[in-house]
């Protein structure tokens, strides 16, 4: 998650420790400074002391380098002088395995005014990484904030700042930053690492931030639509939403559509809820799938009552045609919704959609519930445009579920 900083932190000792102090010309005149190498425009007062300190640290003379640094520090007068002073501090800190001294050196280099552009970003990255290691959150935050100012769309910096906010238990701010990082990657045409979604979800879930849990869950399965991710996402949504039974059934219907049912518990949950609503066709279909997946044993006591509902399939099927005719002639939409759900359970999605549309036209029903079922039925018939319109008409308590269904619809072949 912290690619820029973690990579820099790993390479910091090698990269900074390997820099030769030859960048300071021992005999360069000030009038030739424009021709001097980068960071070589040092003043007369500081030059000799910096050269002496540099030679000492290159010779691994830690005591001599420390003495030379102490002597030259009051004489520093130029941005390049302060930069090179900080560089020697970093090298001495590496020599002594002194992280605090390395951080002091990086402070001097980044505040010198001599480093700019990519070099300054890399130095700030090192500064933030070591500050993290030393648990100096204030300094890490300052470095990361400055990096973000220099490169507002650098998503790695934004994510690392989010990690810091999380460490400080500032979870809403961390999630806002993660969202910014994701937006930056999208704008740049870059993929969003899956662990960003997982980080955001874990923090939102721990903080019981339901809207953020739903948002990042939905975005996660949109980007990484594996059956396991769908299952984890929908069950997490179920836990935070604590939905009433009709929504619970539709959550598990979506799990079934995504082939994300896993284990006896999932099949029991859906079959039992459907059994309580009295739709034998769908109950039987769910139980049959569970048996085929070796997840359901119908001889178990908990499945016996459910199986008794499934056993009414022949009688139930015989009543479909008359029930649908009566529903289409009824004054309100309630019967049409009921028989639409019955046809849905038998997989006759076209007839179900016809009845759902009649229910909406007649009224007297929960329009969001009907549009949810209408969208699912139309999607199963291949009418993606109609399903999209139906899902987008859902509001209230079902709006979050409709968001998941829209993701499913977009992924449906």
pLDDT beyond 80 at 12: no
pLDDT beyond 50 at 3: no
Query: Model's pTM, two decimal places?
Result: 0.80
- pLDDT, tens digit, for every residue of 74-86? 999 999 999 999 9
Burial class (CB in 10 A: 0-12, 13-18, 19+), 169: exposed
Residue 35 lies inside a defined structural domain of this protein: yes
**Which residues lie below 8 Å from residue 375, measured CB to CB, with a gap of 6+?**
386, 387, 388, 389, 390, 391, 394, 402, 405, 409
- pLDDT, tens digit, for every residue of 222-280? 999 999 999 999 999 999 999 999 999 999 999 999 999 999 999 999 999 999 988 89
- pLDDT, tens digit, for every residue of 298-341? 999 989 889 988 888 999 999 999 999 999 999 999 999 999 99
| pLDDT reported for residue 38 | 65
Residue 105 lies inside a defined structural domain of this protein: yes
Radius of gyration of the chain (CA): 33
Residue 400 lies inside a defined structural domain of this protein: no
How many domains, the chain?
Answer: 1
CA distances from 161 to 145, 158, 378 (A): 8, 5, 44
Residue 161 lies inside a defined structural domain of this protein: no
Residue 273 lies inside a defined structural domain of this protein: no
| pLDDT reported for residue 23 | 32
Residue 363 lies inside a defined structural domain of this protein: no
Residue 375 lies inside a defined structural domain of this protein: no
Higher pLDDT, 88 or 32: 88
Q: Which two tokens stand for residue 412?
A: 């449906």
pLDDT class of 35 with cuts at 50, 70, 90: very low
- Mean pLDDT throughout 15-37? 34
Burial class (CB in 10 A: 0-12, 13-18, 19+), 294: exposed
| pLDDT reported for residue 5 | 36
- pLDDT, tens digit, for every residue of 376-388? 999 999 999 999 9
- Supply the range of the domain harboring residue 29: 3-115
pLDDT class of 88 with cuts at 50, 70, 90: very high
Mean pLDDT of the chain, nearest integer: 89
Residue 45 lies inside a defined structural domain of this protein: yes
Closest listed residue to residue 240, CA positions, set 404, 410, 411, 408: 404
Separation CA 91–CA 87 (nearest Å) = 6
Percent of the chain with pLDDT over 70: 91
- pLDDT, tens digit, for every residue of 104-113? 999 999 999 9
């Amino acid at each position: 998650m912290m690619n820029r900083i973690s990579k820099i932190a790993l390479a910091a000792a090698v990269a900074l420790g390997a820099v030769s102090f030859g960048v300071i010309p021992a005999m360069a005149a000030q009038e030739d400074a424009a021709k001097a190498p980068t960071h070589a425009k040092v003043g007369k007062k500081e030059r000799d002391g910096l050269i002496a300190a540099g030679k000492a640290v290159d010779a691994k003379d830690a005591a001599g380098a420390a003495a030379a640094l102490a002597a030259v520090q009051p004489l520093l007068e130029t941005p390049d002088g302060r930069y090179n002073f900080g560089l020697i501090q970093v090298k001495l800190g590496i020599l002594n395995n002194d992280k605090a001294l390395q951080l002091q050196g990086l402070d001097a280099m980044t505040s010198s005014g001599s480093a700019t552009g990519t070099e300054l970003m890399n130095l700030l990255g090192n500064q933030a990484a070591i500050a993290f290691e030393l648990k100096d959150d204030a300094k890490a935050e300052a470095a990361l904030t400055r990096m973000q100012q220099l490169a507002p769309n650098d998503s790695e910096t934004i994510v690392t700042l989010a990690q810091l906010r999380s460490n400080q238990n500032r979870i809403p701010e961390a999630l806002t930053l993660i969202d910014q990082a994701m937006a930056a990657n999208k704008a740049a045409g870059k993929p969003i690492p899956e662990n960003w979604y997982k980080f955001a979800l874990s923090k939102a879930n721990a903080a019981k931030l339901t809207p953020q849990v739903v948002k990042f869950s939905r975005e996660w399965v949109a980007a990484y639509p594996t059956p396991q991710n769908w299952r984890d996402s929908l069950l997490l949504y179920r836990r935070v939403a604590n939905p009433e039974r009709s929504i619970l059934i539709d959550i598990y219907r979506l799990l079934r559509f995504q082939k994300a049912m896993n284990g006896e518990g999932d099949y029991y949950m859906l079959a039992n809820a459907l059994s309580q609503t009295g739709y034998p066709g769908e109950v039987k279909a769910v139980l049959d799938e569970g048996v085929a997946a070796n997840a359901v044993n119908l001889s178990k006591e908990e499945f016996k009552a459910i199986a008794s509902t499934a056993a009414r399939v022949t009688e139930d099927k015989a009543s479909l045609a008359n029930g649908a005719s009566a529903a289409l002639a009824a004054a309100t939409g309630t019967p049409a919704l009921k028989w639409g759900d019955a046809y849905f359970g038998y997989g006759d999605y076209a007839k179900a959609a016809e009845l759902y549309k009649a229910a909406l036209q007649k009224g007297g029903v929960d329009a969001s519930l009907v549009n949810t079922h209408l969208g699912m039925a139309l999607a199963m018939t291949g009418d993606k445009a109609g399903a999209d319109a139906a899902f987008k008409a859902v509001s209230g308590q079902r709006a979050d579920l409709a968001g998941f269904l829209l993701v499913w619809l977009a992924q449906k072949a």
